Amino acid sequence: MITYEELRLRSLADEGRWIELLGAYRQARAAAVALDPARTGAARGRAAAATAPLGHLIAYAAPPEVAARLFDPDGGPGTAAGVADHDAGPLWEVLATRHHWRRLAPLLGPPPVRRLVAQTRVLLGEDLSRDAEPDREGVPLRLEPWEAAGRCEGAPVREYLRDGGSRSALLTLPASREGLAPVKLPEPGARLPGQPATRALAELAGWARAVCVRGPAPLAAAQLAPGRLVTGGYLPFVLAWPALVQAGVADRAHGAAHGRFALWRALAAMAGAARPPGPVGPVGLVRSPGSPRPLGLLRPLGPLGPERVDRGEVGALVARMRCFTWEDPADRLRHLHLALEDPATGLSWAVSGSEEV
């Protein structure tokens, strides 16, 4: 049932009265904060949920000068949207899909929002290597050639609708049986525990399992496949890239930028396994925004935090890596079955799981 208030807000939007709509958004959040004197966060969370549809409309349809102010704290305590505020998807991703970086860059203040918006624009094909501040983890501000080729196979960024909702291709691996054939996997061998890249892959797709073995990709697949006889085959990494990025979009509060960050962390950890051992100083474990768990080893920690990922090492890893995928008869709507073999180290990782969307 559509309420009078919803009709009023739609009327304001149709008339282009975006400043009034921004004021209504902030007032609703401020009222919830006032009802939460103990600062427990519960009322703030309810306010974020209640105002999410209006925030989506502003982020989607308002001029960028107004929409960017959703994240501006100048309205008072608790009135600004954060990186976790979402309706059909995170409000910052909705905004990022609507305007080029040059329009948004002068308007966005909070660094976490700027970073996520910039990386979303990169995933949409913009080259920000000259126009945006360097990423704090060193994730490139333009798509690497293998990412650009993968983007042609499937775009992981949602397509948002004005009145709420979104459209997104369901990127699964394997996507079909094309190119696959019956394969007899070897007997599962011993797993290698404690590999940072294994933890990073597990974080990439929180609904999947990840393992590491010494040996070729099918040996890693044998650890997680439903049996020794599977329908599977090798494929280029570019065909796996879209599904891997989308795997990191855990829920509506996450956007494709989260998936790209998680994938680069995993690849950086895998590339790090190829370095000869030596004195490297204190180890740095990188965490995802809002996650209490470490994601993976990137580089030694310096005085300002983890060093930036090495694009050259990651690119070399992708160029030499062999990828093997297989089917599981028990697959649900979203599924990912992939083994990644690094011939330089003789190590292979497998990540496998499925879930309903």
Which of the residues in the chain have pLDDT under 70? 1-5, 36-45, 47, 274-307, 357
Rg (CA), the chain: 22
Check whether residue 191 and residue 151 sit in a common domain: no
Residue 318 in contact with residue 294, Cβ under 8 Å? no
Check whether residue 41 and residue 160 sit in a common domain: yes
Residue 39 forms part of a structural domain: yes
Residue 175 forms part of a structural domain: no
Name the domain boundary from 116, 137, 167: 167
Q: Return the pLDDT at 293.
A: 34
Residue 336: in which H helix or E strand, if any?
A: strand 334-342
Q: Dump pLDDT digits (tens) for 154-205.
A: 788 999 999 888 988 788 999 888 899 999 999 998 999 999 999 999 999 8
Q: Return the pLDDT at 100.
A: 97
Show the DSSP H helices in the chain as ranges.
4-14, 18-34, 42-61, 64-67, 91-96, 101-104, 111-123, 145-151, 196-204, 217-224, 237-247, 256-272, 311-320
Residue the block writes with tokens 């990169």: 122
CA distances from 40 to 29, 37, 46, 186 (A): 15, 8, 12, 53
Check whether residue 212 and residue 249 sit in a common domain: yes
Check whether residue 325 and residue 347 sit in a common domain: yes
Q: Return the pLDDT at 113.
A: 97
Residue 330 in contact with residue 337, Cβ under 8 Å? no
pLDDT above 90 coverage of the chain, percent: 66
Spacing of C-alpha 265 from chain mean position: 11
Q: Tokens standing for 310?
A: 């090495």
CA distances from 51 to 22, 25, 81 (A): 11, 6, 10
**C-alpha to C-alpha distance for 82 and 79, rounded to whole angstroms:** 9
Check whether residue 230 and residue 144 sit in a common domain: no
Q: Return the pLDDT at 289.
A: 35
Residue 176 forms part of a structural domain: no
Q: Return the pLDDT at 38.
A: 58
Check whether residue 191 and residue 122 sit in a common domain: no
Q: Return the pLDDT at 249.
A: 86
- 206 lies in which domain range? 181-355
Check whether residue 163 and residue 185 sit in a common domain: no
Residue 90 forms part of a structural domain: yes
Name the domain boundary from 138, 167, 196: 167
Check whether residue 34 and residue 126 sit in a common domain: yes
- Confidence (pTM): 0.87
Count of the separate structural domains present in the chain: 2
Classify residue 224 by its DSSP letter.
H
Check whether residue 162 and residue 187 sit in a common domain: no
Check whether residue 19 and residue 155 sit in a common domain: yes
Name the domain boundary from 144, 167, 190: 167
Q: Return the pLDDT at 197.
A: 95
Residue 57 forms part of a structural domain: yes
Check whether residue 314 and residue 224 sit in a common domain: yes
